């Protein structure tokens, strides 16, 4: 297997090259005070001390249980900023005692039975790209053991139903493997979260992931026809139907359940023919909020662009899309059925009505940190989208506090919330770190609202990186709730968002979730501490 970093994002051989690290450091130095950064250096895995495992493998499970340092260290954290920092510092107290690698539904059930009988915490693990503490055994001290259950061996395309345009896919299949397998059938799942390279179908379903398409079917939910989940009480397999009015939808109980109710092992997903027609443009806006009003007009027009992403001026600089002097809306349409020129023309007309100037962004960027074809602004943005996690890790190694937060809010409240979040993030990061760069973009648009997304880049202090970010995060999360928005549009709840999630959900709904968990997981071992 291609070796993956045990402490950060991605494959070891894909880390950012030295010359690009230098360019990145120079650019960051123009935006924040980088004179006193406390760099963090990864240590070799054999220099990392892990707490000894508290369990041994029972004979029946020995072939699928691992206790070695690489597996345990690699399954200790997700990929949030605070996870990468702790791993770089060699802090592995929450390491699972064992990592299970089941190869079948029967083996998933056997691992769950072992955990339930012995009261071991059982933590489902897909690609481990959670940014909300979703895969971390933070509950470890309350349980005699914690077992990370990695689905990577339950992978692959199982069946294609071409006439119904659906595909049965195993839950441990990573994004690129899904698309590779569907390609010979001329199909695509059309779901591209930024973590696509190293996240799985099961993780997407369990967290209700959002892909990069900006309108219509933004979340994995809408692409899900049916799914199978193994719980400590047995298996739930929902029916394949195009639609049904028969009571609450069973798969909706498991979508977003974050491993607390059961382990999803496969799902029938709605697939579509690969697009052959494309039309796209960038649109320049002197004012970000004029761009937001154009995005709203597009969202309410019924045109449903595949991309409708508004980057503020500073985002354009970091993404190599522009020079940092204006906001850019990236508009794109795609279809496997018809040319899209008329759609694009109408979209640009709407943008012009809001002061947008189509084109631009092609000037030589101050930063181009990713290789790939195409040199227009949209192509550069696409390259940076998938390369960004590697850049983030390089910044973390430099000693920079670098993290994102996101939300969704009604258009009615959008502008006030966006201003308040920018101000709160800037103030909190300035107070905690001395200086800060806060950038934002709109990632998804709906007829009734939008999903704004923010990046914070600030100088870290030795030994305080995690607490610095935690303070900023608490301030912006309070502002999100106060502004009537949601604690997450697509990053999920996990352990980190739970206090704010509990504030936004109805108490009776919370009680209902607890009742469902008590029924499906009577021993309370499945991913303790997420959601509930």
Ligand X SMILES: Cc1cc2nc3c(=O)[nH]c(=O)nc-3n(C[C@H](O)[C@H](O)[C@H](O)COP(=O)(O)OP(=O)(O)OC[C@H]3O[C@@H](n4cnc5c(N)ncnc54)[C@H](O)[C@@H]3O)c2cc1C
Our CB check for ligand X shows the closer of 193 and 360 to be: 193
Q: At its nearest, how many Å lie between ligand X and the CB of residue 330?
A: 15
Residue 261 CA from chain centroid, whole number = 20
Our CB check for ligand X shows the closer of 124 and 459 to be: 124
β-bridge partners, 269:
167, 224
Size of the chain in residues: 532
Give one DSSP letter per residue of 420-466, joined into a string: HHHHHHHHHHHHHHS--EEEEEEEEEETTEEEEEEEEEEE--TTTHH
Q: Which among 310, 308, 267, 265 is positioned nearest to 287, based on CA atoms?
A: 310
Our CB check for ligand X shows the closer of 98 and 135 to be: 135
Answer yes or no whether residue 259 interacts with ligand X by CB under 6 A: yes
Q: At its nearest, how many Å lie between ligand X and the CB of residue 434?
A: 26
Our CB check for ligand X shows the closer of 232 and 494 to be: 494
Q: Which stretch binds ligand X (CB under 6 A): 23-31, 129-137, 272-280, 413-421?
A: 129-137
Any idea which residue has 């954290």 for tokens?
A: 77
Answer yes or no whether residue 528 interacts with ligand X by CB under 6 A: no
SS3 164: coil
Q: What is the footprint of ligand X within residues 66-95 (CB under 6 A)?
A: 78-79
Answer yes or no whether residue 129 interacts with ligand X by CB under 6 A: yes
The residue with its CB nearest to ligand X is 203
Q: What is the footprint of ligand X within residues 294-353 (CB under 6 A)?
A: none
Give 477's Cβ-side CA count (13 Å radius): 20
The whole-angstrom separation of Cα 384 and Cα 366 is: 14
Answer yes or no whether residue 127 interacts with ligand X by CB under 6 A: yes
Choice from 95, 100, 109, 123 touching ligand X (CB under 6 A): 123
Our CB check for ligand X shows the closer of 193 and 291 to be: 193
Give one DSSP letter per residue of 258-306, joined into a string: TTSS-EEEEEEEE-EEPP-EEEEEEEEESSHHHHHHHHHHHHTTT---S
Q: For 93-97, which contacts have Cβ atoms below 8 Å and span 24 or more sequence positions?
A: 93/51, 93/140, 94/136, 94/137, 94/138, 94/140, 94/146, 95/50, 95/51, 95/137, 96/72, 96/123, 96/137, 96/146, 96/147, 96/148, 97/53, 97/54, 97/55, 97/67, 97/72, 97/145, 97/146, 97/147
Q: What is the footprint of ligand X within residues 193-212 (CB under 6 A)?
A: 193-195, 199-200, 202-204, 206-207, 209-210
Q: At its nearest, how many Å lie between ligand X and the CB of residue 356?
A: 25
Answer yes or no whether residue 134 interacts with ligand X by CB under 6 A: yes
Our CB check for ligand X shows the closer of 200 and 440 to be: 200
Give 519's Cβ-side CA count (13 Å radius): 9
Q: What is the footprint of ligand X within residues 207-246 (CB under 6 A)?
A: 207, 209-210
Q: What is the footprint of ligand X within residues 491-520 (CB under 6 A)?
A: 491-492, 494
Choice from 96, 232, 365, 389 touching ligand X (CB under 6 A): 389
CA distances in angstroms from 344 to 103, 124, 339, 359, listed in the order given: 47, 43, 10, 12
Give 332's Cβ-side CA count (13 Å radius): 20
**Phi, psi dihedral angles at 398 (to 5 degrees):** -70, -20
Answer yes or no whether residue 151 interacts with ligand X by CB under 6 A: yes
Q: At its nearest, how many Å lie between ligand X and the CB of residue 290?
A: 26
Our CB check for ligand X shows the closer of 204 and 285 to be: 204
Q: At its nearest, how many Å lie between ligand X and the CB of residue 147?
A: 12
Q: At its nearest, how many Å lie between ligand X and the CB of residue 133?
A: 9
Our CB check for ligand X shows the closer of 486 and 527 to be: 527
Q: At its nearest, how many Å lie between ligand X and the CB of residue 205?
A: 7
Our CB check for ligand X shows the closer of 28 and 169 to be: 169
Q: Which among 255, 328, 331, 297 is positioned nearest to 493, based on CA atoms?
A: 255
Q: What is the footprint of ligand X within residues 475-494 (CB under 6 A)?
A: 490-492, 494
Our CB check for ligand X shows the closer of 92 and 196 to be: 196
The whole-angstrom separation of Cα 293 and Cα 351 is: 9
Q: Which stretch binds ligand X (CB under 6 A): 44-52, 121-129, 319-327, 338-346?
A: 121-129
Answer yes or no whether residue 128 interacts with ligand X by CB under 6 A: yes
Q: Which stretch binds ligand X (CB under 6 A): 26-34, 50-58, 119-127, 295-303?
A: 119-127
The whole-angstrom separation of Cα 175 and Cα 198 is: 7
In the chain the first and final C-alpha atoms are separated, in Å, by: 36
Tokens of 256: 């977003």
Choice from 53, 102, 124, 322 touching ligand X (CB under 6 A): 124
> Pairing state of beta strands 234-237 and 277-285?
unpaired
Choice from 258, 397, 403, 521 touching ligand X (CB under 6 A): 258
The whole-angstrom separation of Cα 235 and Cα 381 is: 42
Q: Which stretch binds ligand X (CB under 6 A): 176-184, 189-197, 307-315, 425-433?
A: 189-197
Q: Residue numbers of the site for ligand X (CB under 6 A)?
A: 78-79, 123-131, 134-135, 151, 171, 193-195, 199-200, 202-204, 206-207, 209-210, 258-259, 263-264, 389, 490-492, 494, 527, 530
């Amino acid at each position: 297997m291609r070796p993956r970093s045990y402490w950060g994002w991605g494959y070891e051989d894909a880390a950012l090259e030295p010359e690009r690290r230098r360019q990145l450091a120079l650019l960051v130095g123009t935006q924040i005070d980088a004179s006193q950064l406390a760099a963090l250096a990864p240590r070799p895995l054999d220099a990392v001390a892990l707490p000894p495992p508290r369990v041994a493998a029972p004979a029946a499970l020995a072939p699928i249980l691992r206790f070695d340092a690489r597996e345990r260290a690699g399954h200790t954290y997700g990929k949030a900023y605070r996870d990468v920092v702790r791993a770089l510092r060699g802090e592995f107290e929450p390491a699972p005692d064992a990592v299970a690698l089941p190869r079948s539904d029967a083996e998933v059930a056997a691992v769950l039975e072992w955990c339930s009988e012995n009261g071991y915490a059982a933590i489902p693990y897909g690609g481990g790209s959670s940014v909300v503490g979703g895969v971390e055994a933070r509950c470890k001290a309350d349980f005699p053991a914690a077992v990370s259950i990695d689905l990577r061996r339950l992978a692959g395309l199982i069946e294609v139903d071409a006439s119904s345009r659906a595909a049965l896919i195993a839950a441990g299949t990573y994004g690129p493997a899904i698309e590779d397998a569907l390609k010979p059938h001329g199909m695509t799942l059309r779901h591209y979260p930024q973590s696509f390279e190293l996240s799985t179908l099961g993780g997407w379903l369990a967290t209700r992931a959002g892909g990069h398409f900006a309108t219509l079917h933004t979340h994995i939910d809408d692409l899900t026809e049916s799914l199978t989940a193994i719980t400590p009480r047995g298996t739930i397999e929902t029916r394949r139907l195009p639609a049904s009015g028969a009571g609450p939808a069973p798969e909706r109980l498991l979508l977003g359940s974050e491993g607390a109710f059961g382990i999803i092992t496969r799902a029938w997903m709605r697939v579509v023919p690969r697009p052959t027609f494309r039309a796209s443009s960038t649109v320049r806006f002197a004012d970000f909020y004029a761009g937001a009003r154009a995005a709203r007009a597009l969202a309410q027009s019924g045109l449903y662009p595949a991309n409708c992403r508004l980057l503020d001026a500073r985002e354009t600089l970091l993404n190599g899309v522009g020079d940092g002097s204006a906001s850019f809306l990236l508009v794109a349409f795609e279809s496997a059925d018809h040319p899209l020129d008329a759609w694009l023309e109408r979209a640009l007309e709407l943008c012009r009505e809001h002061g947008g100037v189509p084109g631009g962004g092609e000037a030589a960027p101050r930063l181009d940190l990713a290789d790939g074809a195409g040199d227009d602004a949209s192509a550069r943005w696409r390259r940076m989208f998938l390369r960004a996690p590697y850049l983030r890790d390089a910044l973390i190694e430099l000693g920079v506090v670098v993290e994102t937060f996101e939300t969704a809010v009604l258009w009615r409240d959008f502008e006030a919330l966006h201003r308040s979040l920018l101000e709160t993030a800037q103030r909190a990061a300035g107070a905690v770190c001395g200086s800060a760069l806060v950038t934002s973009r709109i990632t998804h648009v709906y007829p009734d609202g939008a999903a704004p997304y923010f990046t914070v880049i600030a100088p870290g202090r030795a030994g305080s990186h995690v607490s610095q970010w935690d303070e900023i995060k608490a301030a912006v999360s309070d502002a999100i709730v106060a502004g009537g928005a949601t604690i997450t549009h697509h990053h999920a709840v996990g352990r980190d968002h739970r206090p704010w999630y509990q504030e936004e959900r109805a108490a009776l709904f919370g009680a209902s979730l607890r009742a469902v968990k008590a029924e499906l997981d009577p021993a309370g071992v499945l991913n303790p501490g997420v959601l509930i």
